[in-house]
Amino acid sequence: MFIKNHWYAVEFGHRVAQQPVLAQAYGQDMVLWRSRNHAVNAQSAVCVHRGCSLAGGAVVDDALQCPYHGWRYAPNGICVKIPANSKGVPIPKNARIRVYPCLERYGFIWVFLGDLPAEQCPAIPELDGLESHREARAKGYKPVFGDFTWKANYERVLENALDISHAPFVHSGSFGNPDHPEILDFDLDITRRNSHVVSVTASVDLEPSPPSGFWRLIARRDQPRVRTTVGFYPPNVSMLIVRLALGELRLFSAAVPLTEHRTVSKFCMLRTFFTSAWADRDAQRRTYRIFLEDQPIVESLQPKQLPSEPLAELHVKSDAIQLAYRRWRQEQLVKGWGLQTPCQQGL
């Protein structure tokens, strides 16, 4: 199931320059590119002439040029040049490609996928702690970025990021403690704006895993519980905050739905300790390790997509934040904003 009529984070802003970059979202192939004024454009990647992928093209005179026959499309999607035409031959009025509403915030490129009028669109989420810049950053934090691909539905990937009680078992080799799996009671913090849910977060105190390797040399013997916050920003961004004795980690991840059963997580992990470049590789490695521990579990879940009914699976108290996501999802389905299968004709 895909929820339309929302802003989806689909790519990092720092990866989009003047030349076109391919982005995909639930069957839609788009190209992202910057105009002379640095504004990002999101357009259909399919040339209306012969269906060539515009992702292999180039930006010429502030227009997107097809690599097959050189047709050029302005930022508004209208074809402004057909090189094979003789001088004075008019360009067909229907020579245009689809343009998607597009914004750049918090280091991500957000594309509106839906059919609502602009004034009715839900607002772009405000990602707690991130500054509204081209490259995701926060004061006092050092970021690293990456991509991780799953053979799984994006909602399963997103829910896994919100699941507090799986850490002691799935991540026992990294940060979970299987000897202390209990989850203490916690409250949900739900923020709405103009009747739309814009964020849901929850904080719990988790028992840390016994330190190993280098960390064993610098860690305290009587380690306190680790204050951990998880949250989601509809429709496809999750957040994890881990407050360690050394400092704080924040992991923002956009679960981009490529197809029904294929997802790419575009993540930004920020840290307040060991902020020099020498530690970046280790920070990335640790982030990928978390995803790799999750991967076989998430890809094996049945059914492959979330059940249509919020209570179709058995739930317990520690599942409160996943249930909050399912309630939000159900609200969207009641509005008629759910799509069962990828739509090649546009959203």
Residue 30 pLDDT class (50, 70, 90 cuts): very high
* Fold classified for 2-120: Rieske Iron-sulfur Protein (2.102.10)
Res 216 pLDDT > 60: no
* Fold classified for 142-334: Naphthalene 1,2-dioxygenase Alpha Subunit; Chain A, domain 1 (3.90.380)
pLDDT tens-digit readout, 175-192 = 777 788 888 899 999 999
Euclidean distance between CA atoms 28 and 113, whole angstroms? 9
| C-beta separation of 110 from 87 below 8 A | no
Q: How far is CA 125 from CA 108, 109, 324, in A?
A: 11, 12, 16
- Please report where in the chains the tokens 């799953």 appear, as a residue: 150
Res 342 pLDDT > 80: no
Average pLDDT over residues 217-234: 77
Average pLDDT over residues 131-150: 90
Kindly report the backbone phi and psi dihedral angles of residue 287, in degrees, each rounded to the nearest multiple of 5, phi listed first: -65, -45
0.85 cut: is pTM over it? yes
Give the tokens for residue 200: 């849901």
27 Cβ neighbours under 8 A, 6+ residues apart: 259, 341, 342, 343, 344
- Please report where in the chains the tokens 């105009």 appear, as a residue: 35
Tell me the average pLDDT of the chain: 90
| C-beta separation of 114 from 27 below 8 A | no
Cis amide bond preceding 117, omega within 30: no
More confident residue, 308 or 199: 199
**In this prediction, what percent of the chain has a pLDDT beyond 70?**
93
Residue 246 pLDDT class (50, 70, 90 cuts): confident
Euclidean distance between CA atoms 232 and 73, whole angstroms? 36
| pLDDT score recorded for residue 119 | 78
Least confident of 45-54, 70-79, 203-212: 203-212
Res 321 pLDDT > 90: yes
Helix (H, G, I), strand (E, B) or coil at 291: helix
Residue 308 pLDDT class (50, 70, 90 cuts): confident
Residue 211 pLDDT class (50, 70, 90 cuts): low
The strands making up 6-12's β-sheet, listed across from edge to edge, are 6-12, 108-113, 102-105
| pLDDT score recorded for residue 208 | 73
Residue 305 pLDDT class (50, 70, 90 cuts): very high
Helix (H, G, I), strand (E, B) or coil at 106: coil
Q: Which of 46, 101, 253, 97 lies closest to 162 in space, CA to CA?
A: 253
CB count in 10 Å sphere of residue 155: 22
Q: What are the residue boundaries of the structural domains of the chain, listed by start?
A: 2-120, 142-334
Q: Which of 14, 8, 1, 49 lies closest to 30 in space, CA to CA?
A: 8
Euclidean distance between CA atoms 170 and 209, whole angstroms? 12
| pLDDT score recorded for residue 337 | 93
More confident residue, 13 or 212: 13
| pLDDT score recorded for residue 45 | 97
Res 210 pLDDT > 90: no
Q: How many CA atoms lie within 13 A of 272 on its CB side?
A: 14
Strand partners, 197: 192
pLDDT tens-digit readout, 274-289 = 999 999 999 999 999 9
pLDDT tens-digit readout, 77-132 = 999 999 999 999 999 999 999 999 999 999 999 999 999 987 788 889 899 888 88
Euclidean distance between CA atoms 234 and 6, whole angstroms? 8
| C-beta separation of 231 from 122 below 8 A | no
Q: How far is CA 268 from CA 8, 142, 305, 311, in A?
A: 16, 10, 25, 32
